[in-house]
A and B are shown apart, each in its own frame.
Chain A
Amino acid sequence: MEKKITLPISKEVAKSLTAGESVLLTGDMLVFRDAGHKRLFESIKAGKPDIDYKGETIYFMGPCPAMPGQVMGSCGPTTSGRMDKYTPYMFDTGLAAQIGKGKRSPECVQAIIRNGGVYFAAIGGAGAMYSACVTKVEELCYSDLGTEAIRRITVKDFPVIVAIDSKGNNIYER
């Protein structure tokens, strides 16, 4: 039986997780990827961040359009490594967790350890299955970026693996 976790994730729960565990996430997460990060960082640089990500979990994903009967279209993870350059700053300024696919830079791992964060791996390519876990979608900003806009989604029993835990254990380095 997989462990169930409610989002937003508390520091205590984040620190209790061990790399390799499979868990089911329920609650809210922010969703954006390359272009959303780029623009968010421009707003941070200008001193007026467009969203507040403190305590949040960010899922690196850009969905398909929803088919009739779907809340959200297919929505599996994209490669996290492309967001590595933004990640240490975000954990240092309050981000709780990230979800994506693939390994992370040593700087990201250090930021996760330093801040008691966690990095979850979702299963790449499993877009149809993940879409069935989404119960609500709200577009927050950058709608001109289409699939790369920033959204808040609510999920139920969203399956992931703990990929990098707060002690630095890393499933990609075994």
Chain B
Amino acid sequence: MKTADLKLLEEKTAQAVRFIACNMESSCKQALEKARNAEDCPTARFALDVMCENADIAASKGYPVCQDTGMAVVFLQVGRELKLDGDIYRAVNAGVRRGYQMLRKSVLDPVTRVNTGDNTPAVIHTQIIEGDKIRVEIMLKGFGSENMSKVYMLNPAQGLEEAKRLIVESVAQAGSNPCPPVIVGVGLGGTLEKACELSKHALFRKLGSANPDPQLNELEKYLLDEINKLGIGAQGFGGKTTALGVFIEKYPTHISSLPVAVNMLCHCSRATSFEI
């Protein structure tokens, strides 16, 4: 039985944190440039120009794209054929701690508000999968956008129509706060916490990629159109692009409910994945 290399997991996690803090996710950068080129509203155009210039400066100089280097969110998929000779969570957090050495420490105790000092712990979701690999998806999640996220427990009679209305409304209510143009992650179904987890995981998808489920793909297109009709625009300055993308994930739910979670991501997507 192969033993998981937790030292390597720590090292690659630290490298990933340092890299994504300074390098906006590439499909996000491309989508921003496209939005800038299409924008007619002068103030929104100014904001999009600054965002693109900022991403270039950050990448070329090795500076964090945004001062809110976020809280690390990690989705771990662990192959069931692996032997874990040590604490996998400790390894991930050690990597996060090392990765954040030169980044802002924003993580604190919710009651005392005392900072943990090293940006740990990360929020870690784990899944056991086939095989003998560890697959890691990691995101540095800023909280200007996280704070604008919503969850609704709808009843079946309200259905998908109400879900659509609320998803668009949640972006409208968030306005300029989540640093639009945003990326909208939606979780449909499951339970309260499952819907939230889905909405977070959806944010790892690359902009420009289609949802493999045709029905969800149509729903994503519809929602993106409706959101971009809101006219909030870049930084809330108006214009054509309020969202760069809408990504939906679903899971079976109970006959009594339709959980809907909406997780917002700012225009600075900082995420990557690797496998060991």
Contact = CB atoms under 8 A, between A and B. Distances in A.
Nearest to B46: A22
Interface string B209-245: 0000000000000000000000000011110000000
A131 B63 CA distance: 9
A128 B57 contact: yes
B103 interface: yes
Q: Which of A81, A125, A174 has the most CB atoms of chain B within a 10 A radius of its CB?
A: A125
Tell me the dominant secondary structure on chain A's binding face.
Answer: loop
Given A75-B67, A128-B57, A174 B238 contact: yes
A127 B115 CA distance: 22
A70 B176 CA distance: 29
Nearest to A148: B115
Interface string B57-86: 110011111111100000000000000000
Contact of A128 (B47, B61, B144, B235): B61
A78 B54 contact: no
A94 interface: no
Interface stretch (A6-14, A50-58, A61-69, A106-114): A61-69
Given A65-B103, A79-B144, A161-B237, A127 B64 contact: yes
A60 B186 CA distance: 30
B191 interface: no
B20 interface: no
Interface residues of A, number: 37
A64 B67 contact: yes
Nearest to B179: A124
A102 B106 CA distance: 20
A18 B176 CA distance: 19
Interface in A105-137: 121, 123-129, 131-132
Contact of A172 (B22, B68, B176): B176
Given A102-B236, A132-B57, A172-B176, A20 B43 contact: yes
A151 interface: no
B54 A125 contact: yes
Contacts of B46: 22, 161
A141 to B, nearest CB: 17
Contacts, number: 133
A123 B236 CA distance: 10
Contact of A129 (B22, B53, B68, B103): B53
B67 A127 contact: yes
A101 B235 contact: yes
Q: Which of B66, B106, B147 has the most CB atoms of chain A within a 10 A radius of its CB?
A: B66
Interface residues of B, number: 40
B236 A172 contact: yes
Q: Which of A79, A103, A147 has the most CB atoms of chain B within a 10 A radius of its CB?
A: A79
A121 B235 contact: yes
B239 to A, nearest CB: 11
Given A62-B67, A79-B144, A123-B51, A171 B175 contact: no
Nearest to A174: B238
A75 B63 CA distance: 11
Given A65-B102, A78-B144, A172-B175, A128 B43 contact: no
A124 B266 contact: yes
A64 B235 CA distance: 21
B30 to A, nearest CB: 16
B60 to A, nearest CB: 9
A103 to B, nearest CB: 6
B267 interface: yes
A49 interface: no
A125 B62 contact: no
Given A65-B102, A103-B176, A146 B54 contact: no
Interface of A: 20, 22, 35, 61-65, 67, 70, 73-76, 78-79, 81, 101-103, 121, 123-129, 131-132, 146-147, 159, 161, 171-172, 174
The 3 closest A-B pairs by CB, nearest first: A128-B58, A124-B179, A126-B54
Interface of B: 22, 43, 46-47, 50-51, 53-55, 57-58, 61-69, 102-106, 113, 115, 144, 147, 175-177, 179, 235-238, 266-268
